[in-house]
Amino acid sequence: MAAAKRRFGPIDILVNVAGTAETGDLQAYAIDAFDRLFSLNARAPFLAAQAVAADMPSGGRIITIGSIVASRAPGAGLTLYAASNAALGGLTRGLARELGPRGITANLIQPGPMDTERNPADGPHAEQNRAPLAIRRHGTPDEVAGLVAYLASAEAGFITGATYDIDGGWSA
């Protein structure tokens, strides 16, 4: 963050998009799994927001990418992934309240199954991922990017503290 600020000046749009998953039986989680998942999935977005907020100008945007699993886990084995992503909702609402008086918005996007290298639409779990969807296909990174672009725009200046599910009806 410091290098970006030195090169470009104050950051006016932050998109937090990083995460990891560890899945499995509750009893099988390694003792440090909680710390690993919360460190990347929840702590890193907090630290990034903290790093830019001090000098973010009015009209700034903080947009965090989480996962629909925070709202609706499709099955067992996702306890820590779901919990670490659910923390982003509280973080987003807290940032919205804290930074709103300065004209800075904070919003959360929760994608469902997306056709990515990590979760390909033709991968071994693709049919299982699409089963709960109303629109029976994987989403695309471009669809998520379109929502990010909107939330970063001037037209979204009155939207803050919101969570957007872009999930093909997973949560419907």
User: Taking 90 as the threshold, does the pLDDT of residue 19 lie above it?
Assistant: no
- Catalogue the E-assigned strands of 1-117: 13-16, 61-65, 105-111
User: Taking 90 as the threshold, does the pLDDT of residue 90 lie above it?
Assistant: yes
Domain membership flag for residue 7? no
What was the pLDDT predicted at 129?
A: 87
Q: What is the pLDDT of residues 22-80, one digit of tens each?
A: 887 888 888 899 999 999 999 999 999 999 999 999 999 999 999 999 998 888 889 99
Q: What is the pLDDT of residues 124-153, one digit of tens each?
A: 989 988 999 999 999 999 999 999 999 999
What total number of domains does the chain contain? 1
User: Taking 90 as the threshold, does the pLDDT of residue 18 lie above it?
Assistant: no
Torsion of CA 92, 9, 20, 95, to 10 degrees: -10
CA 60/CA 62 separation, integer angstroms? 7
Domain region containing 94 = 13-166
- The CATH code of the domain that includes 120 is 3.40.50.720
Res. 116 pLDDT band, cuts 50 70 90? very high
Domain membership flag for residue 1? no
User: Taking 90 as the threshold, does the pLDDT of residue 12 lie above it?
Assistant: yes
What was the pLDDT predicted at 15?
A: 98
Q: Do residues 80 and 34 make contact, with C-beta atoms less than 8 angstroms apart?
A: yes
Domain membership flag for residue 39? yes
Q: What is the pTM of this model?
A: 0.94
What was the pLDDT predicted at 75?
A: 82
Domain membership flag for residue 58? yes
Helix 44-53 with 79-99: angle, nearest 10 deg: 10
What was the pLDDT predicted at 66?
A: 97
Tokens of 154: 């001037």
CA 93/CA 89 separation, integer angstroms? 6
- Catalogue the E-assigned strands of the chain: 13-16, 61-65, 105-111, 163-166
Widest Cα–Cα separation across the chain = 47
> Would you name the residues annotated as active-site residues?
81
CA 133/CA 137 separation, integer angstroms? 8
Domain membership flag for residue 3? no
Domain membership flag for residue 160? yes
Domain membership flag for residue 171? no
